[in-house]
Amino acid sequence: MAEPIQRGELEQTVALVERLSLSYRTRVVGQTGLWWSLLAGLLANGHVLLESVPGLAKTTAARTLAALCGGSFSRIQCTPDLLPSDIVGTQVFDSSRSTFHTEIGPINANFVLVDEVNRANTKTQSAMLEAMQERQVTLAGQVHHLPQPFIVFATQNPIEQEGTYELPEAQLDRFLLKEVITYPTPTEELKIMDQADSEYADLAAVVSPEHIAALQALTRRVHMARSVKDYVVRLVAATRNTQMLGDLGRYVEFGASPRASLAFQAAGRAIALLSGRDHVVPEDIKYLRHQVLRHRLILTYEAVADSVRPESVIDAIFAATPTP
């Protein structure tokens, strides 16, 4: 059994999150859902996939969070000719010593922004799998552990299909959350224009990687009752057995894997801690339901033809599953 979280630890976490939020809002306007997804991914030590049309602050948000956390940061711009060695590294020959030495690529950072990940070819995309799952890379038979924390923020543009490679389900499943970013409101867009006229000062780190590791350990101590775990299992099972959904059920080809249950558990604990609680409630599970499941449901071609979105199926699943 994990040690219960003390009240002082909760208060310190809430105060720290507020400091992070204040600094974050100096660079990114609005996008509250994006901010909570990034924070949940950070506390749960999970990777986040960001999807939107160009210009909606995906890269800015990821860069800002990395700067506030004080860890190392690298950005990988994906193109069709990008090679696996451009990401994970390679063996380099030293002619002066007639020996090879290992140079780990830009994956060797606390925060890795993989920009336009769906522009990388499938072989290059697969090179990310070991790093994302085991948090290590293997070069020339030697295992190199990546720094902790290690979080991948990947972005993709859903409207440009030429020269892109759709992410395979095996890689999508390794993202804890998928956040779909929408356009700002007119008021927010006006504020964005005002901010563009101002000169940005360098962001000061609010926390260190050591603090992040401590917060992640604290997140794992958040209590999740058996009834809430059973609720998660029933929800995920409903994605595989869709009779309760009626006509919507025929649009689901494959449901979510057990990674979805683990993602709900990790993200639910993170949301609970961010809300100042030491235990998970069903509302924490509901809050990130789209982000956890939208990239794990595989819909049929008929769903695409009928413009049925994963979010509609997810909402129907939650509506049909009794809340404890």
Walk me through the domains of the chain, giving residue ranges and CATH numbers.
46-189 (3.40.50.300)
Q: Roughly how many angstroms between the first and final C-alpha of the chain, as a whole number?
A: 23
Is residue 97 predicted with pLDDT exceeding 80? no
Is residue 100 predicted with pLDDT exceeding 80? no
Distance from C-alpha of 135 to C-alpha of 147, rounded to nearest angstrom: 8
State the DSSP code for 203: P
The residue with greater pLDDT, 115 or 90, is 115
CA distances from 28 to 109, 242, 250, 270 (A): 23, 39, 40, 22
Please give the backbone phi and psi of residue 22, each rounded to the nearest 5 degrees, phi first: -60, -45
Who's near 203: CB < 8 A, 6+ residues apart? 23, 26, 27, 64, 67, 68
Average pLDDT over residues 117-141: 86
**What does the pLDDT look like over 130-140, one tens digit per residue?**
889 889 888 87
Average pLDDT over residues 166-175: 86
Distance from C-alpha of 135 to C-alpha of 99, rounded to nearest angstrom: 27
Is residue 47 predicted with pLDDT exceeding 70? yes
Least confident of 82-91, 158-167, 246-255, 288-297: 158-167
Q: Please report, rounded to a whole number, the percentage of residues in the chain having pLDDT higher than 70.
A: 97
The per-residue pLDDT of the chain, averaged, comes to: 89
Is residue 55 predicted with pLDDT exceeding 70? yes
Band of residue 200 on the pLDDT scale cut at 50, 70, 90: low
CA distances from 251 to 107, 190, 237, 293, 307 (A): 37, 40, 16, 15, 10
Is residue 41 predicted with pLDDT exceeding 90? yes
**175, 296 in Cβ contact below 8 A?**
no
The pLDDT score that the predictor gives to residue 292 is 96
**270, 312 in Cβ contact below 8 A?**
no
The pLDDT score that the predictor gives to residue 162 is 67
Query: Three-state secondary structure along 137-189?
Result: EEECCEEEECCCCCEEEEEECCCCCCCCCCCCHHHHCCEEEEEECCCCCHHHH
Tokens of 253: 């080809």
**What does the pLDDT look like over 242-285, one tens digit per residue?**
888 888 888 888 899 999 999 999 999 999 999 999 999 999 99
**228, 285 in Cβ contact below 8 A?**
yes
Average pLDDT over residues 62-84: 90
Average pLDDT over residues 202-206: 83
Least confident of 94-103, 166-175, 244-253: 94-103
Band of residue 199 on the pLDDT scale cut at 50, 70, 90: low
Give the burial string for 211-250 (b: 16+ CB within 10 Å, else e).
ebeebbebbeebebeeebbebbeebbebbeebeebeebbe
Tokens of 146: 């990546």
Q: Please report, rounded to a whole number, the percentage of residues in the chain having pLDDT higher than 90.
A: 45
Round the CA-based radius of gyration of the chain to a whole number and report it. 21
**pTM for the whole thing?**
0.91
Tokens of 200: 């940005």
- Cα angle at 146 between 65 and 24, to 5 degrees? 5
- Cα angle at 193 between 189 and 198, to 5 degrees? 140
